[in-house]
Structure 1
Amino acid sequence: MTGSTQVPYLLRAARGEILERPPVWMMRQAGRYMKVYRDLRDRYPSFRDRSEKPELAIEISLQPFRAFQPDGVILFSDILTPLPGLGIPFDIVESRGPIIDPPIRSLEQIRQLRPFDPEESLPFIRQILQALRQEVGNQATVLGFVGAPWTLAAYAIEGKSSKDYTVIKSMAFNEPAMLHEFLGKLADAIATYVRYQIDSGAQVVQMFDSWAGQLSPQDYDTFALPYQQRIVQQVKETHPDTPLILYISGSAGVLERMGKSGVDIVSVDWTVDMAEARQRLGANIGVQGNVDPCALFGSKEFIRDRILDTIRKAGRSKHILNLGHGILPNTPEENAAFFFETAKHVNQLILA
């Protein structure tokens, strides 16, 4: 075996190696579209049990790996998982999503937040990641993930999911100093959390700033980008060789700004043509994505054509094939299987 074959395929691509095909995984690949997951969820209805009990989270993380052999196996968790370690409790209600009660609305609450120690508050994360590394060996890259400060702050301040983000934006526009103090605390905690995930076995970490696409470009530059940069800088100081990915939903208007975060790879949603995304981001930044999740409801020929189109447009360097968002719950499993199978065996078509 050569040295490079000891390194998992996705990690090789993320580090810039030219490979015969792009590696492939799917956001939300462990989850509701798989019958084996739904059966497990019926037995363990609490989301926090499923994501925080190591034996359950390990099993769920590995379900798509066993079924489809993707190049990436991502930790089954939630972006809110670290919040209780700061003193912000949350619950996830199946039909309503995350609930944070009381929401963060005052400077006093922000200043009472606890110092974040993941070893103390999240020991299960280390157990899960170590087990995943052991289970998949070099057959796949183990990915960790975290939420970015703006998005975590939005959940904590709104107290739940939101359509218009009026509460956090009111704070941003009326009491910016208070919000900045909160975002700074979150950024430092998340940087610590990323390092903890890497030390526990994550080989690549994806940061989700899911709600930053709701910001105007000038507000993105004020409230999202500096805190993404703060995390990346802290992580790169101690773990310079671990690739970092940034994903934002609805990011077409801030794509170039995402590239300024310092991450190695920008995950592109389907509202941007992949060739244009490459052009806008420049040659030094890798790309991930960006097949429309609804494409998996199309015919096999349609799915294959979309995969080929994306791969051709992305080029051969630093591209990780993925969906432009998470796989949808009603996606036929056989179409997910076809997506992976096609992605892993079409190199002769791509190179033709």
Structure 2
Amino acid sequence: MAELKNDRFLRALLRQPVDVTPVWMMRQAGRYLPEYKATRAQAGDFMSLCKNAELACEVTLQPLERYDLDAAILFSDILTIPDAMGLGLYFETGEGPRFRKIIRTEADVAALPVPDAARDLDYVMNAVKTIRSALNGRVPLIGFSGSPWTLATYMVEGGSSKDFRHIKQMMYATPEVLHQLLDKLAQSVTDYLNEQIRCGAQAVQIFDTWGGVLSPQMYMEFSLRYMRQIVSGLIREHDGRQVPVILFTKNGGQWLETLAEAGADALGLDWTTNIDDARRRVGHKVALQGNMDPSVLYAPPARIRAEVADILERFGPGEGHVFNLGHGIHQFVDPESAGVFVDAVHELSAKYHQ
């Protein structure tokens, strides 16, 4: 594999010195880019794009051609694992993801296979290898997965949900069934991320998108417990380099101290937690990633720069900060505004790394 030319993202995750604060964006390969929309149209639909290694590579690299980003993230979807378990993932226009088969009973859970990532998700691994090769050491490649709890919400609800009625009913009425499901998912995610690492991912992120809908006790039992299990089973060194792990629970700011003990190298923050407060609370245990509100990108350039400056000042001097949005970039953002954001992070952060 090619020598890494820009490793500041990996260094920051490991709280090592960097020249400027590294930056990438969740969903940086996405619908806000006209070139992405063109490639997706060429693929036919979203899953066809995910399953075509060359096209998945093309869209992964598109934002790097536009912006001075410090990392690439694999183009895929968090629901590839449930799909590989036989649930039949499909996407309704304007409705988001749906499953043809829904998991509601103990028998449903018992019938679920634990996929073999190398075999059953080979299209993801082909994409990882293709992207890593095409990057040629330009920046590191991030692999990812959904958390067991987040994957389970889609599997039990049958798609996106506003009230999480079915999974919360399972959690309170038949908790043992939900634990069986989450354990299968934790095994699947561990294998999936390890295979991504073997194929070339240089850091991995676990997206716990829906952990924040739980009460503190339920979060510890049904979400964090399984993310800890995954982290403890991950390959942490590959090709002579450490492989950092990022945990991101949306709306999880109230649990940072506990999250910092989960064994990951970094925690992702959304915009509902001040980064200075987060840094004070986690100390030197982990790096922090975040955490600008994606909606700031609708503002004029001066306002975007002011927000970047404020977050950098709040974090202050020292290592262990990866700049990111607090969630995925919105599809209606002007691509020029994303460029203002990325450039501002590099330009305004240099003084904190003297």
The CA deviation at 1:17 is 1.0
The CA deviation at 1:351 is 6.1
Partner of 1:208: 207
CA distance in 1, matches of 2:148, 2:173: 19
- What are structure 1's unaligned runs of at least 5 residues? none
1:320 aligned partner, one-letter code: V
2:89 aligned partner, one-letter code: F
Q: Say whether residues 1:258 and 2:259 are aligned partners.
A: yes
CA distance in 2, matches of 1:85, 1:238: 27
CA distance in 2, matches of 1:40, 1:173: 44
Partner of 1:51: 50
The CA deviation at 1:347 is 3.7
CA distance in 1, matches of 2:230, 2:350: 40
Matches within 5 A, 1:222-233: 222-233=221-232
Partner of 1:246: 247
Higher deviation after alignment, 41-50 or 188-197: 41-50
The CA deviation at 1:349 is 5.0
SS in 1 for 2:324: strand
1:297 aligned partner, one-letter code: Y
User: For residues 89 and 260 of structure 1, do their structure 2 counterparts lie closer, same or farther at Cα, with a shift above 3 Å needed?
Assistant: farther
The CA deviation at 1:258 is 2.4
* Structure 1 counterpart of 2:322, from 320, 323, 328: 320
Partner of 2:268: 267
CA distance in 2, matches of 1:291, 1:259: 20
Deviations 1:115-153 (A, max 9, x none): 321111111222211222222233211001100000001
CA contact (8 A) 2:117 2:192 kept: yes
User: For residues 304 and 345 of structure 1, do their structure 2 counterparts lie closer, same or farther at Cα, with a shift above 3 Å needed?
Assistant: same
CA distance in 1, matches of 2:105, 2:7: 46
1:137 aligned partner, one-letter code: N
Matches within 5 A, 1:13-92: 13-92=12-91
CA distance in 2, matches of 1:334, 1:230: 41
CA contact (8 A) 1:9 1:141 kept: no
The CA deviation at 1:241 is 2.6
CA contact (8 A) 1:145 1:205 kept: yes
The CA deviation at 1:7 is 6.1
SS in 2 for 1:140: coil
CA contact (8 A) 1:72 1:143 kept: yes
Matches within 5 A, 1:137-148: 137-148=136-147
2:212 aligned partner, one-letter code: G
CA contact (8 A) 2:205 2:245 kept: yes
CA distance in 1, matches of 2:81, 2:35: 27
Higher deviation after alignment, 180-189 or 294-303: 294-303
- Moved >3 Å (runs of 4+): 4-7, 236-240, 347-352
The CA deviation at 1:5 is 6.9
Aligned residues: 349
User: For residues 255 and 94 of structure 1, do their structure 2 counterparts lie closer, same or farther at Cα, with a shift above 3 Å needed?
Assistant: farther
Partner of 2:285: 284
CA contact (8 A) 2:50 2:75 kept: yes
Deviations 1:237-256 (A, max 9, x none): 77693111111222233333
SS in 2 for 1:92: strand
SS in 1 for 2:97: strand
CA distance in 2, matches of 1:22, 1:37: 27
Matches within 5 A, 1:120-269: 120-236=119-235, 241-269=242-270
CA contact (8 A) 1:33 1:331 kept: yes
CA distance in 1, matches of 2:94, 2:124: 25
CA distance in 2, matches of 1:9, 1:137: 16
Deviations 1:31-70 (A, max 9, x none): 0111111222333341101111111111111110111131
SS in 1 for 2:143: strand
2:137 aligned partner, one-letter code: N
CA contact (8 A) 1:225 1:258 kept: yes
Higher deviation after alignment, 95-104 or 169-178: 95-104
User: For residues 119 and 279 of structure 1, do their structure 2 counterparts lie closer, same or farther at Cα, with a shift above 3 Å needed?
Assistant: same
SS in 1 for 2:247: strand
CA contact (8 A) 1:58 1:132 kept: yes
SS in 2 for 1:115: coil
CA distance in 1, matches of 2:227, 2:186: 7
Partner of 1:95: 94
2:292 aligned partner, one-letter code: V
Partner of 2:338: 336
User: For residues 300 and 6 of structure 1, do their structure 2 counterparts lie closer, same or farther at Cα, with a shift above 3 Å needed?
Assistant: closer
1:322 aligned partner, one-letter code: N
2:92 aligned partner, one-letter code: V
The CA deviation at 1:6 is 5.1
Higher deviation after alignment, 173-182 or 39-48: 39-48
CA contact (8 A) 2:6 2:70 kept: no
Identity, % of aligned pairs?
A: 36
1:153 aligned partner, one-letter code: A
* Alignment RMSD: 1.8
TM-score (norm 2): 0.94
